[in-house]
Chains A and B, each alone.
Chain A
Amino acid sequence: MPNGAAQLDTRIEIVTPENIAFQYRVAGPFRRLPAYLLDAVFRALIIFAGGLIFGLTLGFSGLPGLSIGLILILWFALSWFYGGLFETFWNGQTPGKRLMRIRVVSIDGQPINGIQAVLRNFLREVDAQPFYLFQVGLLSAMMNDRFQRLGDLAAGTMVVVEEGHWLRGLTQIGDPEVARLAAQIPVNYLPKRSLARALSAYVERRGSFAWGRRLEIARHVAEPLREKFNLPPNTNLDLLLCALYYRTFITERQDEEPIVPSGSPFAEPKNPYAFAEAKPWRSPTC
């Protein structure tokens, strides 16, 4: 186990030289197989094009043997060095990988170098055994938590997903009922971090739930809160959570010190955690 903790999903945590821990999602066989097939198609196309060019130019000028030789050299070069060269010069990607939005990186998160790229592509030969159906590679990928085939294990690399994830702002709540409820929440009530996280997860997703389902989900958290705040029993629990979200994330809290000083995080030696702690920061999972 790389992190000393049980891994639940396909996220791998990396600690950067900046001493920040961030996460990668490793790519499984269902992303890597299409990338491999795409690359195989590209290779076949290149060989075909090369064959056409050499055959037409050399073949008709009386050197058919030479054209076959060049095609075989091209074939050799593509079948053994295609992946290695592309991954070296394209920062861990081949055309197929780029299309499938995956990338090869070292297991420590660093980009791969030429040696690693060449090695993992040489060793594809073993992973493809027997009969070029990749059973060895699949077996190896199943047995470790980074989906590494044998070539990846030997080169110290893994394949990660490049996620295109758009920044979503805070959810805007237009319901006037929410503002009214928010005003009824005691001013000194401050949700704990875990609750704040749960609140924002709920509010971001509640749009995709039906009315009854929302109540069913909200009840577990909102029911005790309603009693705590002394709100009437007919309070809409879904909206109560929205109100709490509104209070936590959106409205100003004038009556207390800000939790974190504003401005650039570098200019804040006041923060006891920023520089004192040698351990890498583990940012919260989502």
Chain B
Amino acid sequence: MEVSDLLTARRENWRELELMCLRFEGRSRRVIPAATVNRFASLYRSACADLALADSYQLPPGTIHYLHQLVARAHNQLYRSRTFNVRGWLKELFVAVPQRLFNDNCLRLAFVIFWGVFLLAYAAAYYRPGFAENTLGKEMISYLDDGFAQPVTRSSGAAGNIGGGMVGFYIWNNAGIGLRCFAMGLLGGVGGLYATVVNAAMIGATFGYMAKSPNADNFYHFVTAHAPFELTAIILCAAAGMRLGFAIVETRGLTRGDSLVKTGRESVSVVCAAVIMFLMAAGIEAFLSPSEAPYEIKALTAVLTSAMLMFYFVFLGFPKEQGRGARGEGMMNDEV
């Protein structure tokens, strides 16, 4: 068979496949009749076969180039990205993530570093005058002095308005810091370490400084309720970032690239859990923390949220028998 005949014979199929690609590319989500899908798949397979046999058909380079592009295009439509799977994500968040975190050395390390630096900075700010000023800067100190001079009260009438604004600010600011902390971890784990240490030192120094100041009560009145979620979320982000960075160094028998990909895949859901915690913390911080509710209610909130976190990390995270954990892992890779 001559090339010219072959081209005329095949051209119809190629054109049809191309038109179908064009049609599928336009619509992002549409139900496509089964017959069309079948037709598309068989056209795609025959284009694949033509490409594979292009050498023995002696097709000219221009045609081969066209075929490469046509097959790539059809391939992209045939194997589309799978859409969001709510059940898969829920399972991931409540089964796989706590299990993974329970045995995560990076989380332990981040936890120890964060609280170690926090306590150090707290003690230093409490006992050594000048430490807090140097660490936080003059502006922050004067902000703390002014901001907490009055007891935290807000008339409930304005709560919806100002609280709504503050929710937005806390989400934008705190969750942004957390995600940045995660991303920086990729730089050999050092970026995450640095961010963790800086955050812990700042927060520790703030606590130490305020504990000594006459406004201590007002300060604790404000921070108690949302602290558990917010601090845990920061630590989670930092730990996920560190793990990503360490994955390049400690590869566990994989190549560095594969190890990074594997860890990256696992860390996304951890970070998503942290973002959810940030969202909840922002809600509490904007509405409950600055309200005039008695301290007991705020303390109770802190206890309840801490209990929720314990439930999540310890109860859900406690190693189950091998089968369930493995299934969680499998879901991670296949369905989400």
Contacts and interface: CB of A to CB of B under 8 A. Distances in A.
A binds B: yes
Nearest to B92: A115
A167 B53 contact: no
B50 interface: yes
A266 interface: yes
Interface string B56-93: 11101111111111011101100111111000000000
Given A23-B72, A76-B171, A250 B62 contact: no
B2 A253 contact: yes
B194 to A, nearest CB: 12
A276 to B, nearest CB: 13
A119 B66 contact: no
Given A80-B176, A126-B184, A266 B268 contact: no
Interface string A188-208: 000001001100110010000
A286 B249 CA distance: 40
Contact-residue size bin, chain A (C-beta under 8 Å from the other chain): 35 or more
Given A154-B261, A155-B261, A281-B52, A22 B71 contact: yes
A265 B9 CA distance: 12
Majority DSSP secondary structure for residues of B touching A: helix
Contacts of B172: 72-73, 75-76
Contacts, number: 249
Contact of B65 (A79, A169, A286): A286
Contacts of B57: 259-260
B106 interface: no
A251 B2 contact: yes
Closest 10 CB pairs between A and B? Answer: A69-B168, A65-B165, A72-B168, A66-B164, A200-B60, A286-B61, A125-B183, A281-B52, A154-B264, A265-B49
Interface of A: 14, 16, 18, 20, 22-24, 62-73, 75-76, 79-80, 87-92, 103, 105, 109-119, 122-126, 150, 153-156, 160, 162-170, 193, 196-197, 200-201, 204, 248-253, 258-262, 264-266, 271, 273-274, 281, 283-284, 286
Given A66-B160, A118-B272, A251-B2, 18 more contacts: A18-B44, A62-B161, A65-B162, A66-B161, A69-B168, A80-B179, A115-B268, A116-B265, A122-B179, A126-B186, A153-B261, A154-B244, A165-B66, A167-B14, A200-B61, A265-B50, A283-B52, A286-B65
